[in-house]
Structure 1
Amino acid sequence: MLPIYLASSSPRRKMLLEQLGLPFTVVPPDVEEEEHDGLPPRKLVEALAAKKARAVAPAISRGLVLAADTVVVFQDRVLGKPAGPREAAFMLSLLSGNEHEVYTGLAVMEKPSGRLVVTHECTRVRFRTLEEEEIARYVATGEPLDKAGAYAAQGLGAIFIAGIKGCYFNVVGLPLARLARVLREFGVDPLKCFLEK
């Protein structure tokens, strides 16, 4: 099996990839996640994921480089990681009582061939109505400050989610079903690898 390199410093993506039982090495990309004005969300996350994969690829001689990027979108407005507590509270007030989309771009690059597959996943999430006081308390925990859309579905933010349509793991940051399909394009089948251990 080709070695797998996760181009991410996210502990959530590391945890999700571990669920597949595949051995991998974490290689954080040295890139700025700047906004690409004018790009629709699906193209934005695909471009950022591809950028991360390309940033790590030169350090790899052989294997698969896996990268991802996640954004929250509310009424065509991209909500990345909040700049601070005030912006986090503002984002949560926007999401309160409403539906939004979570997009994750996924890029897998093979070395040394340079073959690159880029795709994305979209999940709809519905929040219950939040009280100002609970928004303030949640922001005070610090959890939303490094999360796209200012919440963590796998953490305390779960108490705000009234419903999800689509891939839950996409909301956490790595759509596992789509990833498995992409890996199979490169000859890596997680189930087969597990059984052959």
Structure 2
Amino acid sequence: MIKIVLASSSPYRRELLSRFNLPFDVVNPDIDESPRLNETAKEISVRLAREKAVHVAPHYGNSLIIGSDTTAECEGRIIEKPMIHSQAVSQLKFLSGNLVKFYTSLCVLNTETQALQECVVDFEVKYKVLTEKRIESYLLKEQPYNCVGSVKSEGLGIILLEYIKGEDPTALIGLPLMKLSEMLQKEGVTFE
């Protein structure tokens, strides 16, 4: 049976993939995720998803390597993971009342055939107008410092949002399971 490998250090992606009830390994791809000069948020997402899969592939024969990456942009500015409280405060103040485009890219690489499947799932997220009190209260409770846009839509972050538009809610969390299930089935994985 072909092995499934998630090239990610994200606990959210691990949890999402576990919903398929399939055995899989998790490997930290340990790549440089810095944006390149003049790259758009969408281009960064596509490149990083592919690089994660490609970087892990040489260590796994007869495997399906899954790489995924989420980026966002607002008013031409790339939105990243805040990593620390003060950055999250600044980020949420900037995003307050704004429309944000999220891009979650997915790459599945078959190490046996070298077949590569890729896609990007776009999401439109409208943030509510946020008060400093709401921002501080939310950040202290949720601590979403490793989340793009400082928002965990699957948790308390939903209170920050006016609306979400997109095909697959799991894409906003970090791994588009609807597209991933299609890609895995193309590679012979069954869910029965």
Q: TM-score scaled to structure 1, two decimals?
A: 0.90
Question: Is contact 2:72–2:100 with CA below 8 Å preserved after alignment?
Answer: yes
Which residue number in structure 2 is paired with residue 18 of structure 1? Answer: 18
Identity %: 35
Runs of 4+ in 1 over 3 A off after TM superposition: none
Distance apart, 1:140 and its partner CA: 3.0
* Mapped pair 1:87 → 2:84: no
Q: Where does structure 1 lack aligned partners over 5 or more consecutive residues?
A: none
Aligned partner of residue 184 in structure 2, secondary structure: helix
Q: Matched residues in 2 for 1:90 and 1:67: separation?
A: 29
Tell me the equivalent position of 2:97.
97
Unaligned runs of 5+ in 2: none
Partner residue, 1:63? 63
TM-score (normalised: structure 2): 0.92
Q: 1: CA distance between counterparts of 2:114 and 2:13?
A: 23
RMSD, aligned α-carbons: 1.6
Q: Deviations over 1:92-125 (max 9, x none)?
A: 1122122211111111111122222222110111
Using the TM superposition, give the Cα deviation of residue 142 of structure 1 relative to its aligned residue in structure 2, in angstroms: 6.0
Give matches, 1:2-13, under 5 Å: 2-13=2-13
> Alpha-carbon deviations, 1:112-152, whole Å to 9, x = none?
22222222110111122111111122233462211111121
Cα offsets for 1:32-55 (capped at 9, x unmatched)? 211122122222101001111111
Q: Report how far residue 79 of structure 1 moved.
A: 0.7
- Per-residue deviation, residues 149-174 of structure 1 (Å, max 9, x unmatched): 11211222121122111121111001
> May I ask how many residue pairs the two structures share in their alignment?
191
- The question of 1:174 aligning with 2:181 is answered no
Q: Secondary structure at the match of 2:191?
A: helix
